[in-house]
Structure 1
């Protein structure tokens, strides 16, 4: 399901344009993070040099490079450089540990990986043969924001700031720019790379116009990106903001009060968030929230996870009718939209299809259901949205289609349409969990727990949580005579997977509910937790 950080904006065109950026003169819009700032002229010069360096390293059009960096200007420079060369950047979650890193670096076929110094040990431990490393020093402000000591460069790999000085900016950037490769859900529990077709400058211009309209921001305006750039939504937001010549402030790590400081300091007009951030902002004492002037905000866009209605009401009460919501996926882009007035008139909706997009709700036979009836949601992307497939699994694309609706695909959600065409989500076809806007695949965690000595059977699923929307629960059946503690179960996962994949609740069962064929009835375990929450909160 693509409602997580896997959601994207109205278009998917990476790399920005020289024309748009050149509108930003010295002292005009810039790209900054934790006190580390680049003006557009310097940004473009560095991106062009990186592109030439990548070509010298053997990266060709159609290839991929990996980016294992926190939010800072270099992340966007490398993404833009790859696009200039006709290659694709693969943003990698820097929280990943060995198994996750190995999968993405190997599956993506990346020829070069850019990595922050302190993340090098994890990357080098799983690096496929023949992949070149470019080391990136951690800016002091970024290190402070992330609560780490800024490490000294290792000296074992070329350092980005030195390496790029060996090259001149790329003389002839590619006419068509491939979007980033974002890793989305996979049927086996392993994420799959969403590979989208390259796009030309004319479609980039259309995408920028759509972005400015739907995100309600003017050219040269000021935007803040508080979420990690390894997710599709903030990554796409940043790319289009660059192409529009916006002033961009990146947060290396979300902190509620720091967010308010940045909004006030930089007079931020537009921001894209996830509901978990709303919860953390609302938990600040009222006097703290009122201490900061956030009146410049004219557009707060959110997606990536269901937003509890009381949270959205509270945000509108606080900030005014500036909230805008969309729904879609990495595969489809944003398909439905609603502003605050529409949401208040249709509480709980995720909007209705805009422009050339479309939504259909079908039954199991692939036939449209009556208005108000629940079925599987199929989405038609915008006509400007690039066609996609899955890296290494092109057949998966066909399984998302339905014969009766050419151009429509499903991302696995269940819901209904009202008489006005507004869409409501009610359940998930698959078991993927969304926690704080992050996709989590239970099969991966179940596999990890089954490697723990003494575990016979396990079921992992999402349960409701006020802050994150969902957190993980693990129900385990142990071998006869084996006694495990919840702490031991969590420690086992924490040693092998990212922290957000560690189950919050651990329950030991005498027997997990399976039928004679071995099918596990997770719903029986899940339902008591969700009673009273209507399936999604």
Structure 2
């Protein structure tokens, strides 16, 4: 295990689970990683893969690749078999950095000619993730040994590399979003906008609780490094540990997903009151619709520090709202800011009137890098709005109000059409999360001979809580239209989510549709 590197008192650092590096040490290691990659034949424009849990080495490797003009591809370390093979092959990565306990999964699908650097799992990370400390395999160089005695890269590449992020594969094969390189002046603008919208000052303290293989936390980390923020990483999200870290490090800014709000609110009141959270000035959330009662509860708890944005890996943040705006427009994900734009279009591709629900199209900021999908230009072209140059859809449905604030209904792929009626599962999921004893929920369509589709709900209850299907249906029936009451109610020990809270709904839905012509 590496010796802990302590930062100078008060100086910004990068830390995770008891391991800490100051910026000089971090930058030195990044430069030595860059030189090591050059000696292994990695050139500007090439790609490397990073199959690591959250820890400082993840960011050091990403920064090292950028120094030589190569792209680091963060890989979901939960991937196995065909998903992992697809990302490693599709990305064309020349080198893979991988935690020791994940080496067997990577080795089983490694493309020919790809080299591996093994990374020892830090003890604190292993403890937080509940895994035994695996010994090095000896089959590949360990990162620290590989860097020993190696000089830093003497000169950084003249141009920044493109960025590549893969989807989680929640609805199918992971797709690689390739974003063009960001020019130095535009990076500076992006950092300033990040500081403004995330309400954090240069040198401030941020906490990243979500996996770095997702787009939002990855982008957050890159901008936080560029702004010289003090960065605390969580190896995995744990609600009480999240509160402890905020109190201990006097965290000012954090980015989360709504599922984390649910888990935080499930903590006993005395546990939540045990920690001083007064340092928080900005709690940013995105990535999924947040049920209004959950957001109200968070604002009541933390005060008006919540800020929300909406966008995608392809577009960046397009809409924003602070707590005051949200309270004035409950349920909104904000309105377009700066040079961004939002339109809601009907089936004919024409803009819909205020309040009408349709497909959401987004116009990224003028300085947001252009993007495509690796190996799938047709998919990229299909996202364009025919009559609105620069507008693309990421598959969401919603509406705009008279003040230009956007409201999400659901994902187009998740919408259920039952007897010709459009049903948005997110609304029903939000309703059920307000039922005492429900800890997590997934609503989706299943085949039905009469209606085409009917609703199924899979629920996870709090420990020790027993609910009946009748109770679940009655709760929905008392609050929503009758056609939104689930036909099938299934109780699960645990729903399939990753650390960021992203739900793999297809794993629940696909068995219902197996054998039905052309579906799934």
| Cα 1:57/1:285, change in 2 over 3 Å | same
Identify the match of residue 356 of structure 1 among 329, 339, 349: 339
Q: In the alignment, what sits opposite 2:376?
A: 393
Question: For 1:183-242, what per-residue CA distance to the aligned partner results, in whole angstroms no more than 9, with x for missing partners?
Answer: 137898212100011112111111100000000000000000000111011011000000
Q: State the distance in 2 between where 1:268 and 1:34 align.
A: 15
Q: State the distance in 1 between where 2:415 and 2:76 align.
A: 18
Q: In the alignment, what sits opposite 1:422?
A: 405
Moved more, 150-159 or 129-138: 150-159
> Unpaired runs of 5+ in structure 1?
1-23, 434-460, 478-489, 523-537
How far did 1:474 drift?
Answer: 8.9
Q: In the alignment, what sits opposite 1:81?
A: 64
Does the alignment pair 1:471 with 2:442? yes
SS of the aligned residue for 1:93 comes to coil
Pairs within 5 Å for 1:95-134: 95-134=78-117
| Cα 1:289/1:328, change in 2 over 3 Å | same
Q: In the alignment, what sits opposite 2:202?
A: 219
Structure 1 contact 358–379 (Cα < 8 Å) conserved = yes
| Cα 1:473/1:282, change in 2 over 3 Å | same
Does the alignment pair 1:136 with 2:107? no
How far did 1:332 drift?
Answer: 0.2
Moved more, 465-474 or 96-105: 465-474
Q: State the distance in 1 between where 2:268 and 2:13 align.
A: 32
| Cα 1:512/1:132, change in 2 over 3 Å | closer
**TM-score, normalising length: structure 2:** 0.81
| Cα 1:168/1:470, change in 2 over 3 Å | farther
Structure 1 contact 25–41 (Cα < 8 Å) conserved = no
SS of the aligned residue for 1:297 comes to coil
Alignment RMSD (CA, Å): 3.0
Q: In the alignment, what sits opposite 2:165?
A: 182
How far did 1:362 drift?
Answer: 1.1
Does the alignment pair 1:336 with 2:342? no
Q: State the distance in 1 between where 2:55 and 2:378 align.
A: 36
Question: For 1:260-283, what per-residue CA distance to the aligned partner results, in whole angstroms no more than 9, with x for missing partners?
Answer: 110000000000000111111101
Q: State the distance in 2 between where 1:508 and 1:187 align.
A: 15
Q: In the alignment, what sits opposite 2:28?
A: 45
Question: How many residues align structurally?
Answer: 452
SS of the aligned residue for 2:148 comes to helix
Q: State the distance in 1 between where 2:286 and 2:146 align.
A: 38
SS of the aligned residue for 2:392 comes to coil
Q: In the alignment, what sits opposite 2:3?
A: none
How far did 1:428 drift?
Answer: 2.3
| Cα 1:188/1:291, change in 2 over 3 Å | closer
SS of the aligned residue for 1:408 comes to strand
SS of the aligned residue for 1:317 comes to helix
Structure 2 contact 83–174 (Cα < 8 Å) conserved = no
> Unpaired runs of 5+ in structure 2?
1-6, 417-424, 449-491, 497-501
Pairs within 5 Å for 1:403-418: 403-418=386-401
Question: For 1:336-384, what per-residue CA distance to the aligned partner results, in whole angstroms no more than 9, with x for missing partners?
Answer: 0000000000000000000110001111221111111112111000111
Q: In the alignment, what sits opposite 2:499?
A: none
| Cα 1:187/1:114, change in 2 over 3 Å | closer
Does the alignment pair 1:28 with 2:4? no
Q: State the distance in 1 between where 2:508 and 2:187 align.
A: 45
Does the alignment pair 1:148 with 2:131? yes
Structure 1 contact 476–507 (Cα < 8 Å) conserved = no
SS of the aligned residue for 2:141 comes to coil
Q: State the distance in 2 between where 1:37 and 1:424 align.
A: 41
How far did 1:175 drift?
Answer: 2.8
Identify the match of residue 310 of structure 1 among 293, 297, 306: 293
Q: State the distance in 2 between where 1:187 and 1:231 align.
A: 12
How far did 1:178 drift?
Answer: 2.4
SS of the aligned residue for 2:201 comes to coil
Q: State the distance in 2 between where 1:398 and 1:506 align.
A: 28
| Cα 1:470/1:170, change in 2 over 3 Å | farther
Q: In the alignment, what sits opposite 2:329?
A: 346
Q: State the distance in 2 between where 1:49 and 1:507 align.
A: 46
SS of the aligned residue for 2:146 comes to helix
Q: State the distance in 2 between where 1:70 and 1:191 align.
A: 18
Q: In the alignment, what sits opposite 2:248?
A: 265
Question: For 1:412-471, what per-residue CA distance to the aligned partner results, in whole angstroms no more than 9, with x for missing partners?
Answer: 1111111100001113222499xxxxxxxxxxxxxxxxxxxxxxxxxxx99836378753
Question: For 1:63-100, what per-residue CA distance to the aligned partner results, in whole angstroms no more than 9, with x for missing partners?
Answer: 11110001100000011111111111111111112121
| Cα 1:50/1:513, change in 2 over 3 Å | closer
Does the alignment pair 1:376 with 2:359? yes
Structure 2 contact 163–180 (Cα < 8 Å) conserved = no
Identify the match of residue 204 of structure 1 among 187, 201, 205: 187
Between the two structures, name the one with larger relative contact order (CA 8 Å, sep ≥ 6): 1
SS of the aligned residue for 1:306 comes to coil
Structure 1 contact 326–338 (Cα < 8 Å) conserved = yes
Q: In the alignment, what sits opposite 2:39?
A: 56
SS of the aligned residue for 2:25 comes to helix
Q: In the alignment, what sits opposite 1:283?
A: 266
Q: State the distance in 1 between where 2:168 and 2:248 align.
A: 38
Q: In the alignment, what sits opposite 2:471?
A: none
Q: State the distance in 2 between where 1:155 and 1:79 align.
A: 24
